[in-house]
A and B are shown apart, each in its own frame.
Chain A
Amino acid sequence: MPPEVLSAPLIVEFPFTRSTGPVLGAFLTGLRERVVLGARGSDGRVLCPPAEYDPVTAEELTELVPLGQLGTVTTWAWNERPRPYQPLDTPFAWVLVRLDGADTALLHALDAPRHAVRTGMRVAIRWADERSGAITDIACFEPAPNAGAPGDSHRAEGSAA
């Protein structure tokens, strides 16, 4: 009779260390200091997360601008069962957030009840208590205390279902 087939946990881990370069280094430094930076492109648009090279001309980007602590959800997906190492351990929404002052959106987690999440929703950064210069310095986003930012939310809501 064949023996019982074995099974065991197998964890493969690659602890990569990357050098961050000028733009992402500055962006991560900003997060540590509770400031989100965007990069201004040649067409005047502000990109966040900042691009190192201009999407139009491919020139190096060197003008960084601080953005607001509030933003607008441009799209989202509900995560009913968070996995280990995800930003939150209770159900949350993955969101793209266009921070006030930016023209592109940043991917992060939103801690809000399922029924409250919608495109056009106003959200605020929840900073991590301990910050080290990483995207996780933003613990997550949360619903903005007093919703509504005229001239910003209606633009995104136009595309909502």
Chain B
Amino acid sequence: MTTAAELLAGIPELAGVEPVTRVTIPARLEYTYSPGSAQTRFLTALPDKRLLAERCPRCTRVYVPPRGACPTCGIAATEQLELPHTGTVTTFCIVNIAAKGLDVEVPYCYAYVLLDGANVGLHARIGDTPYADVRIGQRVEAVWNEQRLGPSLASISHFRPTGEPDADPESYRRWM
């Protein structure tokens, strides 16, 4: 296998210089994101520590964050409701590589939390517990970020275990 140094050795003006072996090329996409009216309602309720959801009038699935329509039935979601701050872990992973620009220490635990009454998982970090103890079916509750309450999911710092017994798998099996 030829190396850059070997190729450079044949060129008098470049022989012996330190060869380049890597380049970092950032790919960057800049958007102006608008969450739409349904998610705007959800986001603007977060500073009041309220979790707003929508129910599909046909299949009765409850979506959080709400999107204004049911993706299964393709019809507008008309009913709005508020969900409690408790839920069940339906899947999780331990993140060991820090993402650029994220002010969270690695390793951290990232999970889907199925809020009680919801039929889709909310992405959230799990904290205040050893990660070896995090498990599917674990009962958790939201910890609010008192310093950063605003129209953003950053209003929820993370979820922590409630200490209740694990949820019955039948209660979340269909929504994993």
Contact = CB atoms under 8 A, between A and B. Distances in A.
The reply to whether chain A is a binding partner of chain B is yes
Interface of A: 2-23, 25-26, 28-30, 32-33, 35, 37, 60, 62-66, 84-85, 133-134
B59 interface: no
Contacts of A26: 4, 7-8, 14, 19
A143 to B, nearest CB: 26
Contacts of B44: 3, 6
Contact of B17 (A7, A33, A134): A33
18 contacts: A3-B40, A6-B39, A7-B34, A10-B33, A14-B26, A14-B28, A16-B26, A17-B25, A18-B25, A23-B4, A25-B21, A28-B23, A29-B14, A29-B17, A30-B11, A30-B14, A37-B14, A66-B14
Contacts of B37: 2-3, 5
A12 B32 CA distance: 11
Residue among A2, A6, A21, A63 with the highest chain B CB neighbour number at 10 A: A6
B13 interface: yes
Contacts of A28: 20, 23
A13 B101 CA distance: 10
B128 interface: no
B97 interface: no
B3 interface: yes
B22 A22 contact: no
Contacts of A60: 2
Nearest to A8: B33
Nearest to A134: B23
Contact of A7 (B7, B25, B33): B33
Nearest to A31: B20
B14 A6 contact: no
A84 B26 CA distance: 13
Contacts of A15: 24, 26, 100
Contacts of B41: 2-3
A23 B31 CA distance: 36
B34 A20 contact: no
A15 B39 CA distance: 29
